[in-house]
Amino acid sequence: MAACALKISLNPNPNGVVLHRKYTYSFNTATFCNSSNNNPPFSFITSPNHKTSHSNRFQPTPVAEPNRVSGSDSHTFDVVIVGAGIIGLTIARHFLLESNLSVAVVDAAVPCSGATGAGQGYIWRVHKTPGSEKWELSMRSHELWEGLAESIQNQGLDPVQALGWKKTGSMLVGRTAADCSVLKSKVEQLLDAGVDAEFLSRDGLLSEEPALNLGEECGAAFIRDDSQLDARRSVAFIEKANRHFAAEGRYANFYYEPVTSLLRSESSGEIEGVQTSKYTLRSKKAVVIAAGCWSGSLMDDLIKSSEIEIDLPVKPRKGHLLVVENFKSFKLNHGLMEVGYVNHQSALDSSATSDSGTGYDANTASISMTATMDMSGRLVLGSSRQLVGFNTEIVESIIDRIWERAGEFFPTLKEVSLKDLSKSREVRVGLRPYMPGGKPVIGPVAGLSNMFIAAGHEGEGLSLALGTAEMIFNMVLGNPQEVNPAPFSLIASGLSES
């Protein structure tokens, strides 16, 4: 069948990262087969004085590219995945582990250069809503993450080192009687759904988390056996495991290769691959678009000259995260978020809907307190939400507001000036893939046979990744689904198709 390139008109640099030099990550850490090495998985270049980095700013160490197929510019795989964030990489992982199919992952930059590199790492259930359309997928994904951590353990590896996995439990904390009544209903809902949750009144909360000071009427919904992970470490582990299949010719990655067009059969209309500036990557079974917040504009460009109309309104929702290294003022025993986080996540910030990437300021950001302590003892504080286009500039006033908000929960922080922490702090900025309606799109594209989308996970991409990967895998192979995919179809999202 003849294949034709539809259009080559994409911005070759969607992330604003420097593309003139090729990098790939330098892995010097534990892999599937090696339990002894505890080194961090990435080599980052960081400023010794002022650690501020965008998720797409950190510089991986340049090394040779062992998995790049050399020689011809045209390669054929069973599945071609566009996007090497947590969604694309876990989809690749699922195909590699559960089938004999070959997989290529293509990215405009490198893993973690999108939202994934900024992720805080909570894969908790405490803030999720039983019975909601995402609930089943959340629970399945949670089960798969737990299973992965367990299988790592069973192989004699340490999930803490491999994934940054910590069973911290998760808490949704409130300060008022009204908050506590919301939290009590939340606990009941979770219990009814079979999740082992409990309500902590003030004394119980303070004995679990003594650094909190929230007045007399505070309380929390608590899930003791929830876990968190380290996004960058988990990505490194998954990518390393994927690369394991390169030796048998089943895996290749193409980094710094923005996809510029689709290959589509002139006779059948089937999607037969993608084109980058250098490579023609043919797919025998599927092309999966997992390009996070770039998926909408990418799809627009890819189908521009076809008869297909799809509006995939994924928007970048900017988030800042503050990381304080070597934090000693207090110890955080659990993962925490304020009860208002749930609305913060679902609210559409109508005051800042510009897509131009200009005109942003701290006032348009919604801030909600999330606090975790990672495996290296870093205090990680979140987070902000803004719809301000593809802008990833660090805004200091937003960092100030994140710090102040955290200080309302942990008064000790009020005694520490952020300025004094300038040498030990890092700021991460990422663009969450926000979908109006709050659900990701996971499914085939009508009219474009063999093409699938997995995008729009907003603030839950880490949490929902493994369930999403399984769903796409089952769709491509026509297998029965573990979770009903209907709520995630393009049609269910109210998007236009023809």
CB nearer to ligand FAD: pick between 14 and 164: 14
What is the rounded CA–CA span in Å between residue 211 and residue 411?
A: 8
Give me the least distance between CB of 87 and ligand FAD, in Å please: 4
Interface pick for ligand FAD out of 174, 382, 438, 485 (rule CB under 6 A): 382
For residue 89, the minimal CB distance to ligand FAD (Å) is 7
| Identity of the residue, 107 or 209, whose beta carbon is nearer to ligand FAD in the bound complex | 107
- Contacts (CB under 6 A) with ligand FAD, residues 239-258: 258
Burial of 157 (0-12, 13-18, 19+ CB in 10 A): buried
Instruction: Map the footprint of ligand FAD across residues 153-192, applying CB under 6 A.
Output: none
The values of phi and psi at residue 430, to 5°, are -140, 160
Work out whether 459 is an interface residue with ligand FAD (CB under 6 A).
yes
**Given candidates 118, 187, 236, 402, which one binds ligand FAD under the rule CB under 6 A?**
118
User: What is the Cα–Cα distance from 207 to 89, expressed in whole angstroms?
Assistant: 40
Q: How many residues bind ligand FAD (CB under 6 A)?
A: 46
The amino acid present at 280, given as its one-letter code, is T
Which lies closer to ligand FAD via its Cβ, residue 130 or residue 459?
459
Interaction of residue 388 with ligand FAD, rule CB under 6 A: no
In angstroms, what is the minimal distance from the CB of 330 to ligand FAD? 21
Does 286 bind ligand FAD (CB under 6 A)? Our answer is: no
Q: Which is closer to ligand FAD, CB of 298 or CB of 324?
A: 298
Pick the closest to residue 172 from 118, 231, 129 (CA basis): 129
At 136, phi and psi to the nearest 5? -60, -40
Q: Is residue 107 close enough to count as binding ligand FAD by CB under 6 A?
A: yes
Q: Establish if 321 lies at the interface with ligand FAD (CB under 6 A).
A: yes
Q: Is residue 85 a contact residue for ligand FAD (CB under 6 A)?
A: yes
Phi, psi of 470 (to 5 degrees): -65, -40
Instruction: Check residue 108 for interaction with ligand FAD (CB under 6 A).
Output: yes
The nearer residue to ligand FAD, 458 or 470, going by C-beta atoms, is: 458
| Dihedral angle, C-alpha 190, 336, 428, 243, nearest 10 ° | -50
Residue among 3, 82, 92, 495 that touches ligand FAD (CB under 6 A): 82
Stretch that binds ligand FAD, among 96-104, 126-134, 189-197, 450-458 (CB under 6 A): 450-458
Member of 3, 10, 30, 369 binding ligand FAD (CB under 6 A): 10
Say which residues have a Cβ less than 8 Å from residue 18's Cβ, sequence separation at least 6.
none
Q: Which of 180, 187, 271, 291 binds ligand FAD (CB under 6 A)?
A: 291
Please report whether residue 389 would count as binding ligand FAD according to CB under 6 A.
no
The residue range among 63-71, 132-140, 201-209, 284-292 that interacts with ligand FAD, by the rule CB under 6 A, is 284-292
Which lies closer to ligand FAD via its Cβ, residue 60 or residue 88? 88
- Decide: is 383 part of the binding site for ligand FAD (CB under 6 A): yes
Least separation in angstroms between residue 276's CB and ligand FAD is 7
- Binding residues (CB under 6 A) for ligand FAD: these are 10, 14-15, 82-88, 106-109, 113-116, 118-123, 258-259, 290-292, 294, 298, 319, 321, 382-383, 430, 432-433, 455, 457-463
